[in-house]
Copies of this chain bind each other. A is one copy, B any other.
Amino acid sequence: MKALVVDDDLALADVVSFTLRKAGFEVIMAHDGQVALDRWRTESPDLIILDLNLPKLDGFGVCRQIRAQDDTPIIILSVRGEEDDIVTGLKLGADDYIVKPFSPRQMVARVEAVLRRVGDVHPSPGNLTVGDITLDLSRCKVSCSQQLIAKLTPLECRLLEILMMNRDQVVLADALIDQVWGPQGGDKDMLKQLVYRLRHKIEICPSRLMYIETVSGVGYSLIFTSENK
C-alpha cells in the first residue's frame, strides 16, 4: 500500500507520513501541487492525502487533474472553519476529508475506511485517446471509434503508449528502450523487433489511421493520418 502525502507544511507532512508508515504504508511526499502530480503519475499511489493550500498549484487543481484520469482515493486535509473548501473538494471527486488538527488514530481510521470503501482496487490506468483512436492501457487493446482493432502484448502496449504521448515527435531509440524495458533492460535489436510487430498490428487497420515512421539512426515517430481533431 503506497500513500502520497501532499502538504507544504513540512512538520505536519512529517507527522502524517510517520503515522502512515507505522500503519504499514509506504509513503512518498510532495510539497507543492506540481510535484504532487508528478509523483502521482510516476508512482501511482493507492491513496492520496491532499492539503488544499499548496504553492504552485492548489489542492483543487490537483484533485481535478487526478479525477480527470482515474479514481485514486483522495482524502482532503483542511483547516477548521473552511467548510466550503471541503464541499468544493468533495464536489471535485475527493473521497473523504480530515479537519486539522486531528489525531493520528483518527486519521488512520479515515484512511482505512476510504480504502475499504473504494475497494482497494488499483484502478485501471485509464485510456489514451488521440482522434478516433483509443488505447486501453489496462487491457492492451487498440480501438478506432469503439471498434476493436488489435490486441497488443504488454510490451507493444507500452511502446505504443509512449509513441502516442509523443505523437508527431521523434522519440529517440535510446529513450524508447529505457522506457519500455527499464534502465538496464533492452537493446536496439529488441526494439527493432518490437516496432516490427507493433506495426503489423496497427498499420493494417482500416485505411492507415496511423503509422510508425522510422528516422534512421535516431528513433521513431507515430504519425496520425486522417486527423479530424
Pick from B91, B123, B124, B179: contact of A18, CB under 8 Å: B91
Which of the candidate stretches A25-33, A56-64, A165-173, A198-206 sits at the interface with the other chain? A165-173
Cβ-based interface call for A134 (8 A): no
In the complex, what residues of B have CB within 8 A of residue A101's CB? 96-97
Q: Are A90 and B15 in contact (CB under 8 A)?
A: yes
In the complex, what residues of B have CB within 8 A of residue A39's CB? none
Pick from B86, B103, B124: contact of A169, CB under 8 Å: B124
In this complex, how many residues of chain A approach chain B with their Cβ under 8 Å: the count is: 55
User: Shortest Cβ distance from A125 into chain B, in angstroms?
Assistant: 9
Quick one: closest B residue to A125, CB to CB? B170
In the complex, what residues of B have CB within 8 A of residue A165's CB? 119
Query: Which A residues contact B (CB, under 8 angstroms)?
Result: 11, 14-15, 18-19, 71, 80, 83-84, 86-87, 90-91, 93-97, 101-106, 113-114, 117-124, 138-140, 154, 162, 165-166, 169-172, 174-175, 178-179, 213, 215-218, 221
User: Shortest Cβ distance from A7 into chain B, in angstroms?
Assistant: 13
Q: Are B139 and A71 in contact (CB under 8 A)?
A: no
